[in-house]
Amino acid sequence: MTEEYRHSAEFIDIMIAPHWQAYGPVLTEALRGAPAGPVVDLGAGGGHGTRVIAQALPEAEILAVEPTPGLRAVLLARVNEDAGLRERVTVLPEGFPQARLPGRLGALVAMSVIGHFDPADRGGMWDLLAERLAPGGRAVLNLQPPAEAVAVPEAQMADVRVGRRAYRGWGRAEPAGAGKVVWHMTYRVYQDEELVQEVQVDYDWWVLGEERLKEELALRDLTASPAGPAELGVYVVTRSRL
């Protein structure tokens, strides 16, 4: 499920960066008091979240799982450039469910990732949390609209300037069967407002809303609580019985 990102990898880290201004403080707060580790950053991308985790839990070992080579290169470079991160972040190249994860988890972070998992793999992730979360452990994840398999009209989603170039992203979604949409993304690069590059990528995305999330978790004695501003869609998942 990472083939698409091979074509868009160069754009993802810079386009997601502005969102981390809002996600960062919410993730920090959500991790407060989590056991020291290990912490898994599942689908870590270029590592914006990895960096937040490292600051929030300064003692924790971190496993940053990132199957897309282009994004993993960004992640590895970001980790390598910081002596503190280099000491305690391990970058794993296999995705879920192939990645070998620790038997005990202080926390698992899955930001802007859940929709990549089909219902079977999603269930596998809830099973893993139910089995491996340490006492006081938690998962932090976000749900992204749409919550149902409906069309989403085209909208501009990113506009980032680097030097003379502007990197702009647009997306629209179409229903693609039960529980799934396809996001049609267009990434355009402009130099001095002249279009110089265009990349189109389609991503399958398994939709999930709060109600369904809670139902799936309840089957495993897990609970989801909203965290931060509602529009960010962030949830903290813990055991129902502590």
For ligand SAM, the binding residues (CB under 6 A) are 1-2, 5, 12, 16, 42-45, 48-49, 65-68, 71, 95-96, 111-113, 116
From the CB of 9, what's the least distance to ligand SAM, in Å? 8
Residue 83 Cβ vs ligand SAM, minimum distance, rounded to whole Å: 22
**In whole angstroms, how far apart are CA 74 and each of 102, 115, 179, 227?**
24, 22, 32, 28
**Structural contact between residues 186 and 200, judged by C-beta atoms closer than 8 angstroms:** yes
- In which element (H, E) is residue 105 found? strand 105-110
Q: How far is the CB of 242 from ligand SAM (least distance, A)?
A: 27
Alpha-carbon span 182 to 77, nearest angstrom: 31
Residues 6+ apart with CB under 8 A from 75: 44, 45, 46, 47, 50, 64, 66, 91
Give whichever of 50 and 238 is closer to ligand SAM, judged by the CB atom: 50
| Closer by beta carbon to ligand SAM, 229 or else 240 | 229
Instruction: Report, in Å, the least distance between residue 19 CB and ligand SAM.
Output: 7
CA dist 189 and 195 (Å) reads: 6
Tell me whether residue 35 or residue 49 sits nearer to ligand SAM (CB atom).
Answer: 49
Nearer to ligand SAM, 90 or 240 (CB): 90
